[in-house]
C-alpha cells in the first residue's frame, strides 16, 4: 500500500500541513508515500515516486469527477493501481449514489436540479424542516443549510454557489430529524471492515450494515444518535478525502496495518 499526499504549496518537499502528521504516522507504521503536485491534476504532468504495481491510496482534498479521473489515470500511467477506481470514488462521494443503498439508515432525501421550484416541490412533502446540500457538501457559513421555509432554499443555493464557486451535481434536500447534539462519530471502512477511532468502543450496527452494502474499498461513515436512541447515518464519504474527525493520525495508520 502506497499513500499519496498533496504537496506543500510553499515549495517544501513535504505534504501540505493538514496531512503532514498523517504522513509521519503512516511512515512510522511502515508505509511509503509520495507527493501530488497541482500540475498532475491541472496540466497532465506525470506522477513521480509511485512504486511499480503499488496500490495507491490518495489522502487529500476533495476532487470532482474530472479531477479524480485524471488522478486515477496518472496513477496508472506511473505504473500503480488506484485503490479506489473513479466509479467507486463517486459511489461514496456523491450522496445520490450511496443513498439508495441505505435508505433505511439515513434521513429521507430528495434530489433536485439547482433551479427547482422549491415552494412547489417541497411544500408537498409536509416535512417540518429541510437540510440542504449539493451532492457533496452543505453550507457551513452565512445562512447555513437548515431551512424551515421552502421559500428560503433559493438563498441557500445562491450562497452555496457564491462561497464554493459551483454546485456539484444538483441539490439534495434531506428531512430534518431530532439528533442529539455531541453524539456524531466518524468511522472508516476498509475493504468491507469497519473501524472506530477508539478501539475500545463498539461499532454501531448501522456502520456494519454500511460496510456490507456499500461496495467501496475505502469510505467514511458519520453516525449520530437520534433522540429516540436510534443510530442514524448522516454522511458517507470517500475515505481518501475524509478528514480525521475525532481520529488521531496514529490510530488511522494503525487501522491500515490491521487492514493489510
Q: What is the pLDDT of residues 162-184, one digit of tens each?
A: 887 788 999 999 999 999 999 99
| pLDDT-wise least confident of 14-23, 95-104, 148-157, 210-219 | 148-157
Least confident of 19-23, 151-155, 248-252: 151-155
Please report the pLDDT score of residue 158 as a whole number: 86
Q: Is 69 helix (H, G, I), strand (E, B) or coil?
A: helix
Residue that wins the pLDDT comparison between 131 and 163: 131
**Range 154-163 average pLDDT:** 85
> In the predicted model, is pLDDT for residue 59 greater than 90?
yes
Q: How confident is the model at residue 78 (pLDDT cuts 50, 70, 90)?
A: very high
Give yes or no for residue 159 having a pLDDT over 90: no
Q: How many CB atoms lie within 10 A of CB 66?
A: 10
Statement: residue 142 has pLDDT above 70: no
pLDDT for 232-254, tens place per residue? 999 999 999 999 999 999 999 99
Mean pLDDT computed over 56-64: 97
Residue range 208-214: average pLDDT? 99
The percentage of residues in the chain with a pLDDT greater than 90, rounded to a whole number, is 76
Residue 181's alpha-carbon distances to 31, 194, 226, in angstroms, are 37, 24, 9
Q: How far apart (Å, rounded) are the C-alpha atoms in residues 129 and 146? A: 7
Give the pLDDT score at 143.
67
Q: Supply the pLDDT for residue 141.
A: 59
Other beta carbons less than 10 A from residue 79's beta carbon: 13
For residue 114, the model assigns a pLDDT of 86
Q: Is this structure's pTM higher than 0.85? A: yes
| Lowest mean pLDDT segment, chosen from 36-50, 171-185, 190-204 | 36-50
- State the Cα angle at 228 between 143 and 177, rounded to 5°: 25
Task: Please calculate the CA angle 94-98-101 and round it to the nearest 5 degrees.
Answer: 170
Give residue 6's Cα distance to chain centre: 17
Is the pLDDT at 98 greater than 80? The verdict is: yes
The pLDDT confidence band at residue 118, using thresholds 50, 70 and 90, is confident
Given a cut of 70, whether residue 46 has pLDDT beyond it is yes
Q: Give the phi and the psi of residue 71 in degrees, each rounded to 5.
A: -65, -50
pLDDT interval class at 151 (50, 70, 90)? confident
Is pLDDT of 139 > 80?
no
Amino acid at each position: 500500500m502506497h499513500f499519496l499526499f498533496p504537496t506543500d504549496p510553499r515549495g517544501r518537499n513535504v505534504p501540505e500541513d493538514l496531512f503532514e502528521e498523517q504522513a509521519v504516522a503512516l511512515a512510522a507504521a511502515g508505509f511509503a508515500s509520495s507527493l501530488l503536485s497541482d500540475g498532475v491534476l491541472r496540466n497532465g504532468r506525470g506522477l513521480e515516486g509511485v512504486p511499480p504495481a503499488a496500490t495507491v491510496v490518495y489522502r487529500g482534498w476533495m476532487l470532482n469527477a474530472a479531477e479524480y479521473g485524471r488522478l486515477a489515470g496518472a496513477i496508472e500511467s506511473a505504473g500503480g493501481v488506484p485503490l479506489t477506481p473513479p466509479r467507486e470514488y463517486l459511489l461514496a462521494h456523491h450522496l445520490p449514489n450511496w443513498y439508495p443503498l441505505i435508505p433505511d439508515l439515513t434521513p429521507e432525501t430528495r434530489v433536485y436540479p439547482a433551479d427547482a421550484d422549491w415552494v412547489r416541490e417541497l411544500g408537498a412533502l409536509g416535512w417540518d424542516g429541510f437540510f440542504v446540500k449539493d451532492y457533496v457538501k452543505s453550507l457551513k457559513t452565512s445562512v447555513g443549510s437548515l431551512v424551515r421555509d421552502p421559500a428560503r432554499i433559493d438563498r441557500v443555493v445562491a450562497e452555496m454557489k457564491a462561497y464554493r464557486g459551483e454546485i456539484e451535481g444538483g441539490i439534495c434536500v434531506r428531512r430534518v430529524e431530532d439528533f442529539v447534539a455531541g453524539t456524531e462519530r466518524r468511522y472508516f471502512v476498509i475493504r468491507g471492515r469497519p473501524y472506530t477511532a477508539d478501539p475500545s468502543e463498539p461499532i454501531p450496527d448501522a456502520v456494519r450494515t454500511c460496510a456490507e452494502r456499500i461496495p467501496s474499498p475505502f469510505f467514511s461513515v458519520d453516525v449520530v444518535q437520534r433522540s429516540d436512541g436510534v443510530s442514524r447515518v448522516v454522511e458517507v464519504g470517500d475515505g481518501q478525502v475524509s478528514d480525521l474527525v475525532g481520529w488521531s493520525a496514529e490510530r488511522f495508520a494503525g487501522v491500515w496495518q490491521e487492514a493489510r
